[in-house]
Amino acid sequence: MEKTEINELRKLFTLEKCGISKIVGCYVNGDKKKLANIDEFFGVLPEEEQHKYFEIFRKTLSGQTGKNLLNMEFNESAHDSQREFLIRLRDSELKDESLLNEFYDKVIDSYNYIGNYLIILVYQSYDVPLVTNDNMENEDASEEVYRFMLCSICPVELSKPGLEYFETENKFHNSERSYMVGLPDMGFLFPAFNERCEDRDSLLLYTKDSKEFDLGFMNYVLNCRVPIPAPRQKDIFNEIITETLEDECDYEIVKNIHEELSDIIQTRKDDPTVPETISKKDIKNIFENSGVKAERMENFERRYDSHFEDDREEDKSFYVKNLYPTANKVEIKTANVSIKVDADKMDVVETRIIEGKKCLVIRVDEELIVNGIRVN
């Protein structure tokens, strides 16, 4: 799913556009015991509660694609098991108690969380409006009905102790601690909304922790192909650079590679239809455009595939934003010095040999400030 498709669904979680018919859930404690169930018609809830749920649902569809939001395909073995189970659960419109309990049990058995948490499921039917050539929605023209369910798994924790103001007494007293539902740590949308249509072969997973995935949940509840975490994608990309260039890995080529990535990201900002991922062929072009010699590209061909266990080409792609510097800053380090440079200003730094010593030279175009002091 692309960001535009995700944002289209996020907009449904408002009082004006909400079409949620059913909300169900299960409250679980740290000993994996079910404490309570939710089973209500969403429309009869007080508006204040609906808004709190909307916040949870929108969070389950938020974050960076390829990092917190992961497009996942089912393993082949899942087509007759987990995938079909999720289809039956969705088609039941969350009204089948036995299916719901089976789902809760799957989550409880596999979800790696210490503490209380709440499993929330909602079902909605969405008449997908026709989008005109000028990117305007025509809600009166709909050719697709997208029926989906959204699962959010939220931590439930005791509120912090403190003093509370009691207006009737005009005094402050110790407040009572209560269990509060937090924003989700994990969740998923099924089926996926690819090209603004239902795609039963895939789903969209949300994970708050983008560094380490809950493999038990992914394998047992979803049985999907597990993608490479965002930090590991960057590590692999860096390893491919160093293995390709070997002793010719100089500052100029690395700078050029980052500039190429920056251009791709900017192109996608201007044209959202540009894919968010880059393939082996794309990376090869980036290296060649950045000045990597032909003889070094032989290393690239040999080394690239060795970093991936799966033979499918689509599993060997990277989300380009996962490779680009965090907060658009590039860190340059030596044994004793560390500096950060705007990713689009790397040309102010260069390497030189001065009096026989390797040096970093930083061009100062404007003022120079050292620890808050403006110096000459």
Domain boundaries, the chain: 3-222, 228-324, 326-376
Average pLDDT over residues 325-349: 82
Cα gap 118→34, rounded to integer Å: 10
Share of the chain above pLDDT 90, in %: 44
**341 pLDDT exceeds 90?**
no
Query: What are residue 329's DSSP bridge partners?
Result: 342
In this prediction, residue 375 carries a pLDDT of 86
Q: 3-class SS at 190? A: strand
In this prediction, residue 111 carries a pLDDT of 93
Count of positions (residues) in the chain: 376
State how far the alpha carbon of 161 is from the alpha carbons of 52, 130, 174, 178, in Å: 22, 51, 8, 9
Q: Share the mean pLDDT of the chain.
A: 88
**7 pLDDT exceeds 60?**
yes
In this prediction, residue 13 carries a pLDDT of 94
**% helix / strand / coil in the chain, to the nearest 5?**
35, 35, 30
Residue 149 neighbours by CB distance under 10 Å: 22
Phi-psi bin for 328: left (phi > 0), alpha (psi -120 to 50), beta? left
In this prediction, residue 141 carries a pLDDT of 63
- Going by C-alpha positions, the residue among 325, 304, 318, 322 that lies closest to residue 259 is 325
H helices present in the chain, as ranges: 3-10, 47-60, 82-91, 97-110, 215-216, 230-245, 251-270, 280-289, 294-304, 320-323
Torsion of CA 210, 213, 218, 221, to 10 degrees: -100
In this prediction, residue 62 carries a pLDDT of 94
Tokens of residue 46, six digits: 């007080």
pLDDT interval class at 134 (50, 70, 90):
low
In this prediction, residue 193 carries a pLDDT of 95
Share of the chain above pLDDT 70, in %: 94
State how far the alpha carbon of 75 is from the alpha carbons of 41, 194, 284, 289, in Å: 34, 18, 29, 36
Q: Regarding predicted confidence, which is higher, 17 or 56?
A: 56
Please count the CA atoms within 13 angstroms of the CA of 192 that sit on its side-chain side.
Answer: 21
> How do residues 141-156 score in pLDDT, each as one tens digit?
667 899 999 999 999 9
> How do residues 201-243 score in pLDDT, each as one tens digit?
999 999 999 888 888 898 889 998 888 888 899 999 999 999 9
In this prediction, residue 241 carries a pLDDT of 92
Cα gap 189→203, rounded to integer Å: 6
Are 366 and 345 in contact, with CB atoms under 8 Å apart?
Answer: no
DSSP string, 249-260: --HHHHHHHHHH
Average pLDDT over residues 124-152: 80
Average pLDDT over residues 61-74: 92
Average pLDDT over residues 132-146: 69
In this prediction, residue 228 carries a pLDDT of 87
In this prediction, residue 358 carries a pLDDT of 86
